[in-house]
Structure 1
Amino acid sequence: MRNSYQFKNHKVSAVQGKSGMLYAMSAVVSDSRVQDSLFTLSRTHSAAEEIKCRAILRLVEVSQAFGDEMRRELGASGLTEAGFLILAHLIHGGPAGGSPTEIGRTLPLSRQTFRDVLGRLEVSRLIAREHVAGDCEHSIISATDDGRHAFQAATESALKLINVMAADLDDRESSLLDLACIRLNQQLSKLKTT
C-alpha cells in the first residue's frame, strides 16, 4: 500500500531528505516519453551530455524503485515512513521524551500528518504520552519498548535491503557512487540558492 503525506511545501510519497528533490522529480522523469525526449535533446548537444543525462535519469529511477522497496519493508514491519521517522527521532533524536509540539517542529511533516501518525503510534502502543505534572494540557512523548522493537526490526530490514541493493558493488564502486551523490547534492544546493 502506498502512502502519501502532505509535507510543509508539497505533497509527495516519501519523507523529504537529501534525496527528496530527486524523488519528487522522479515521477516526471520516470515517464518513458519524457525520458525519450530528454535523451533525444541531450544527444543533439553532445555524446557526453547524453551519457550524463542517462546516468542521472537512471539514478532517479533506481532511487524511486529503492524508495518503493523501502516503504514496502517498513510496511512489513508495521510502520509507515512518517511513523518510522517519528520513532527515529524519539529513539535517536536527543534527550528521552519531548513535547509533541517541539518534536513536530523538527520533522518535515505537516502538523496534521504529524498529529495523525502520533495518534496511530499511541493507539498501537509504540509511543507513550505522559502529562506534565500539574499541567494536563502539556505532555511528553517517548518510545515504548514495543516502539523500540518495531523500530529496530524496521531498521534491520532497511539495512538488509541496502546490503542486497549494494551486493554487486565493490568498495571502489561504492566510494565512487558516494562521491557522485555528494557532488550531485552540492549541485542541487547551488540550484536552490540561485
Structure 2
Amino acid sequence: MLHAMSALVSDHHIRDSLFELSRTQSAAEELKCRAILRLVDVSQAFGDELRRQLGASGLTEAGFLVLAHLIHGEPAGESPTEIGRTLPLSRQTFRDVLGRLEVSRLISREHVAGNCEHSIISATDDGRQAFQAATESALKLINLMAADLDDRESSLLDLTCIRLNQQLSKLKTT
C-alpha cells in the first residue's frame, strides 16, 4: 500500500495539482505540501536503496523480515503457521520466502517428533550471518544518508516524524 501511495503522489500530474491547489490556500500550505511530498520521495528512494542493499546481501525484503523474526522474535521454536500469522505477508508470499530461505540454507525445518505434518523453523548459522551482513549494510546506508545532518537537524527530523505519525494516528481514529 505504501509503495502504491508513494507512486501515486510521485506522479507529476498529481503533484502539480496538489501544489497548485495548496498555493491557492496559502504559502504555508504550499510549503507543507512540498515538505511532505519530499519526505515521501526520500522515503521511497531509501526503500529502493535498502532493497538493493538487501539483494546484494542475498536477501529480499520479505526474507530479511522472516530472518529478523526468527532471530529476534519471541518465542523461539514457532511453527511456520504461527510465524506466518504475525508477519505482514500473504500466505503465498510467506510460503515462497520460506522455500527460498530453506533452499539457500538460511533456515532449517525440524519436524516435531511423532508428527510429520508439523515443523519448527529456525535460522541457520548461514542465515544469522546473512541477516547480520544485511543489518550492517542497512545501518551503513542510514549513516550515509544522515552524514551531513548535525545533532539538531537529526533531532528535529525525529520530532517531525513523531508529530506526523501522531497526526496520522488521529486521522485513523476519526
The question of a shared fold, defined as TM-score above 0.5 by the shorter chain, is answered with yes
Residue number among 55, 58, 68 corresponding to 2:48 in the alignment: 68
In the other structure, the counterpart of 2:163 is 183
Q: 2:153 aligns with which of 173, 179, 185?
A: 173
Q: 1:77 aligns with which of 57, 60, 69?
A: 57
Work out whether 1:41 is the aligned partner of 2:21: yes
What CA distance in whole angstroms lies between the structure 2 residues aligned with 1:146 and 1:96? 18
How far did 1:110 drift? 0.5
How many residue pairs were aligned?
A: 174
Please state which structure has a larger fraction of its residues in helix.
2
Q: Distance in 2 between matches of 1:147 and 1:70?
A: 18
Distance 2:20 2:46 in 1: 27
1:26-71 CA-partner distances (Å, limit 9, x unpaired): 1111112211111111010000000000000000000000000000
Q: Residue 29 in 1 paired to residue 42 in 2?
A: no
Matched, 1:193 2:173: yes
Q: Secondary structure of 2:119's match?
A: strand
The aligned counterpart of 1:5 is none
Runs of at least 5 residues in structure 2 that lack an aligned partner in the other structure: none
Instruction: Report the AA paired with residue 39 of structure 1.
Output: F
The DSSP-based 3-state class of the residue aligned with 1:128 is: strand
Q: Could you state the TM-score of these two structures normalised by the residue count of structure 2?
A: 0.97
Matches within 5 A, 1:32-181: 32-181=12-161
For structure 1, list consecutive stretches of 5 or more residues without a partner in the other structure: 1-11, 13-20
Larger radius of gyration: 2
TM-score calculated relative to the size of structure 1: 0.87
CA distances 1:84-119 after superposition (whole Å, capped 9, x unpaired) = 000000001123321000000000000110011001
Following TM superposition, the consecutive aligned residue runs of length 4 or more in structure 1 with deviations greater than 2 angstroms are none
Q: Distance in 1 between matches of 2:20 and 2:121?
A: 53
Shift of the alpha carbon at 1:25? 1.4
Find the aligned partners of 2:10 and 2:132 in 1 and give their Cα distance.
Answer: 32
* Root mean square deviation, CA, Å: 1.0
Q: In 1, distance between residues paired with 2:24 and 2:136?
A: 46
Identity %: 87
